[in-house]
Amino acid sequence: MLQAIRDGIKGWIAWVIIGFIALPFIFMGGYEYFGGGQDDAVVARVDGEEIPRSQIDQAVERQRAQLREMFGGDLPDGAFDGAALRREALEQLIDEQLLHAYVGKQGLRVTDQEVAQTIRGQEIFHEGGQFSRARYQTLLERNRLTPEDYEGLVRRDLKADQFQQAVFASSISTPSQLERLVRLQDESRSFSYVEIDADRYTDEVSVDDAEVEAHYEAHTDDYMAPEAVRLEYVELGPLALRDQVDVDDETLQERYDERYGDDDDPPTFDDVREELLADSIREQYRTELIEAGDELGNIAFEQPDSLEPLVDTFGLEVRTSDWIDRDGGEGIGDLSEVVEEAFSEDVLEHGYNSDLIRVDEDRYLVVRLLEHREAEPKPLEEVADTIREQLRQERAADLARERAEELVARLRDGDSLDELAEELEVERFTVEDAYRDDRSHPEAVVREAFALEVDGYARVELDDGSAALLRLDGISRGDPEGLSAQERQQLQQQLQRMAGDSEVRALIRALRAEAEIEIARERL
């Protein structure tokens, strides 16, 4: 079956990059699996095996994609630390490298039939609901992979899965562990609390200019304008072929009538003619567009010192980007593939044209450096208001915490929570039977409630700098006797997986202790 998949897969489309492959083998746009082009900077070595920066870029983009899915498509501004994501991605790649190397020495076997069955089942290679050898060929070639390369990746992943399943199957869970899990997992707690908002104390604090300047001098690294680049670039899309294809206005008029004929207030034909022409070229001349993209990439590589050969060949316009840092920017800076290329060694250090960036099936970019700005501190006057407000909030939070500590002492001396709520003129919240994963109340309050004894009090620091006074009113333990046979079996399997996960983590810690790991953090 593997040979059947390989049949017909010949030739090589050079310098065309769609993306990378990340287990479980999802092709994503914009970079190569085996590196981000020439001279891809090596960030780490694990027992001699290199982890290039492009793999970290890819892992970060995968994390961002998962986070975007969690947030319904858009990430809140500033919600995630880009540097932290990159550090986490590097650690995960090191763990993966160690685990794959260990599994490879265990003598596990995966048949050709299992590999072929896995590949045929991967929807990225499907057209019309079926495995397409042509699509398989195209995607592999554009990722600079031979079928043997890709089969090796699939085989490696299947071995890792086989190993993990064996670990899980050998893990042991006892009835007493199950009962303890149920009591903890199904435990609920009832509690009462009031919040002391830090904002009620902001009018009591002031921050002068000298304090602002002192804070700025002591924490300059917190107020850096990041390293950034401006790019010049060319973009090739369907309209670049307009002089080489035969699409007449009659055809476009038919397409216009089909699309807008039933609209009450349709746009004029002239307003949408370019859009209609692009769609027509995209549908009728897909092969020619792909070939044009291949040629764009070849010329950009063969003549790396200028975009002018691309302008002359395709009649493209050289455009200029806004400032782009390593976390992206406006316009093309929003494309992770562009950011990866912009900060690659070829573009940033040598000033060459980028490798071809394939944004989607009919959009190609080549970028080069126009201007580079090193990271530098922002001027004090630019950040002074931010610092002043930050210091006011911090001091107001300190006052709220101090006030909460005084009030907790009064609760322990016999005052009631109702009395303090009335004194503070705030609401007293009463919570019945909340579980550990309750998100309808502040997470810190719920967490502390599960640490208290009945009738205990605590002061809780909230994420926004405010404070809370908490009283635990009651505890309800989970009941193992109430489990059905099916629920008991599911929990037993959950315990086995938890034990298996723990064993795998312990193995990775041991492998790390024995491995030679070199990390160039300045390249991260």
Render pLDDT for 410-438 as a digit per residue (tens, 0 to 9).
Answer: 999 999 999 999 999 999 999 999 999 99
Tokens of 315: 């009649």
pLDDT of residue 28: 40
pLDDT of residue 288: 85
- If one compares 23 and 233, the residue with the highest pLDDT of the two is 233
Q: Give yes or no for residue 402 having a pLDDT over 50.
A: yes
User: Which residue type sits at 358?
Assistant: R
- CA 457 to each of CA 230, 400, 416, 432: distance values in angstroms, whole numbers, following the listed order: 56, 17, 11, 17
Q: Give yes or no for residue 304 having a pLDDT over 80.
A: yes
Domain ranges of the chain: 112-170, 188-218+382-476, 224-377
Q: What percent of the chain has pLDDT over 90?
A: 50
In terms of Cα–Cα distance, which of 381, 385, 380, 352 is closest to 366?
Answer: 352
Question: Stretch 365-380: mean pLDDT, rounded?
Answer: 96
Tens-place pLDDT, residues 96-123: 899 889 988 888 899 999 999 999 998 8
Tens-place pLDDT, residues 43-99: 899 999 999 888 888 788 777 777 777 766 666 655 566 778 888 889 989 998 998
Question: Stretch 298-315: mean pLDDT, rounded?
Answer: 95
pLDDT of residue 78: 57
Question: Stretch 386-407: mean pLDDT, rounded?
Answer: 94
Q: Give yes or no for residue 317 having a pLDDT over 50.
A: yes
Rounded-to-integer distance, Cα 20 and Cα 35, Å: 9
In terms of Cα–Cα distance, which of 349, 248, 252, 233 is closest to 296?
Answer: 233
pLDDT of residue 310: 96
Contacts of 125 (CB under 8 A, 6+ apart): 119, 131, 132, 135, 136, 139
Q: Is 337 exposed, middle or buried (0-12, 13-18, 19+ CB in 10 A)?
A: buried
CB 427 within 8 A of CB 421: yes
pLDDT of residue 29: 37
pLDDT of residue 219: 94
Which pairing describes strands 328-329 and 324-325: parallel, antiparallel, or unpaired? antiparallel
Of the listed ranges 199-208, 275-284, 460-469, the one predicted with least confidence: 275-284
Tokens of 485: 């046979």
Q: What percent of the chain has pLDDT over 70?
A: 90
Specify the length of the chain in residues.
Answer: 524
pLDDT of residue 409: 94
Of the listed ranges 31-45, 53-67, 206-220, 484-498, the one predicted with least confidence: 31-45
- pLDDT band for 1, please (50, 70, 90 cuts): very low
pTM of this structure:
0.52
CB 142 within 8 A of CB 16: yes
Mean of the per-residue pLDDT values of the chain: 85
Tokens of 318: 């050289």
